[in-house]
Amino acid sequence: MLCPKAIAPLYQGRPYDVSVLPWHPADAKSLLPLWQSPGFDLAFVPGDNRYSWLALAAGARWIVAHGRDRPAWKNWPLDEMHDYPEHADSWHGMVAKLANKDFRDRYQPPDWAAPVVSHFTVPPQPYAVLHVGASSPLKFWPAERWLALADWLQQQGIVPYWSAGPGEEALVSAIDPTGRYVSLAGQLSLPAMWHLLQHARLLVCPDTGVAHLGRLVNVPTVVLFGPGSDVLCGAGDFWRDAPFRSVTIRDMPCRDQRVMFRREAAWIRRCGRSVSECTEPRCMSLIMLDPVYQACADLLASNSLLMQDSE
């Protein structure tokens, strides 16, 4: 499996016997291990079919992907094309079904060993992680609600810690200008984030990569879905046992795009607009505190019962 360099350390323990090649499209040297391979019997290309040409160049004998990508030249190397399903599904479920299998297994936390990390100390427990960053400003939740949520958690006896990615430190400063709570923004690698989440009582975040990491680690996770779809990017069948709650405005009228990776499906409801097309994240601003409090309280209560049972 090819994966971005930052994500590769998560696969140290070779979950599911997967071997990864860390790479970046702009780094030709990162592709040397791929060129030096003897070729592959089978290649799956999730998402953007431009990478079908990379699979062909790597000597793949059979290339499988979802069809109907645009422009058409992206699909030329494909040997097998699948349409999007007629009924709602998660993205990870759609990708898994490229293998023509009916996957009924559920994710189990022991299936994926924690990556090794050095120079990281787990904060005193109990604590929660509030990850405020996201791939787009249209996924940002209002600053005053983040701070109110942090105060609410403190009242429950759970210490909140701010989190955000590199370059997003200003987001935390805008939310908590007096530094009321500790910020870890921009300080953690993904393996370190894994260990932070592994010992947390709760994770709250927008629809972003950390939400997926939360399910992997099996930390109780509340995800705020604004422009994104909690059907496409939620727990789905594979993660259905995960302690996970989504909070969203179900019938948001501008979440009306039916496209994912340039293919259409009648059941898709998402918004991929840019900040030049949408100047205000109304879908996020309409997510009020009460449903978030309730989702957090439900997960905290369930987790407390599980901890008591394990004792």
pLDDT, tens digit, for every residue of 280-303?
899 999 999 999 999 999 999 987
pLDDT band at residue 307 using 50, 70 and 90 as cut-offs = low
The C-alpha atoms of residue 175 and residue 146 are separated, in whole angstroms, by 7
Is pLDDT at 309 greater than 60 in this prediction?
Answer: no
- In sequence order, what E strands does the chain have? 2-4, 21-23, 43-45, 63-66, 80-82, 127-131, 159-163, 202-206, 221-225, 244-248, 259-260, 263-264
pLDDT for position 101: 77
pLDDT band at residue 274 using 50, 70 and 90 as cut-offs = very high
In order of start, what are the domains of the chain with their CATH numbers? 2-103 (no CATH), 127-310 (3.40.50.2000)
The C-alpha atoms of residue 41 and residue 45 are separated, in whole angstroms, by 14
Q: How does pLDDT run across 142-166, given as a tens digit for each residue?
A: 999 999 999 999 999 999 999 999 9
Helix (H) or strand (E) holding 96: helix 91-96
Q: Are 141 and 204 in contact (CB under 8 A)?
A: no
Q: How does pLDDT run across 167-197, given as a tens digit for each residue?
A: 999 999 999 999 999 999 999 999 999 999 9
Percent of the chain with pLDDT over 70: 97
pLDDT band at residue 25 using 50, 70 and 90 as cut-offs = confident
pLDDT band at residue 68 using 50, 70 and 90 as cut-offs = very high
pLDDT for position 305: 58
Q: What does pLDDT average to over the chain? A: 94
pLDDT band at residue 37 using 50, 70 and 90 as cut-offs = confident
Q: Enumerate residues 6+ apart whose C-beta is below 8 A from 135.
A: 208, 209
SS (H, E, C) 214-270: HHHHCCCEEEEECCCCCCCCCCCCCCCCCCEEEEECCCCCCCCECEECCEECCCCCE
pLDDT for position 102: 73
Is pLDDT at 311 greater than 90 in this prediction?
Answer: no
Tokens of 102: 């009916």
Distances (CA, A) of 190 to 123, 214, 224, 307: 16, 11, 21, 26
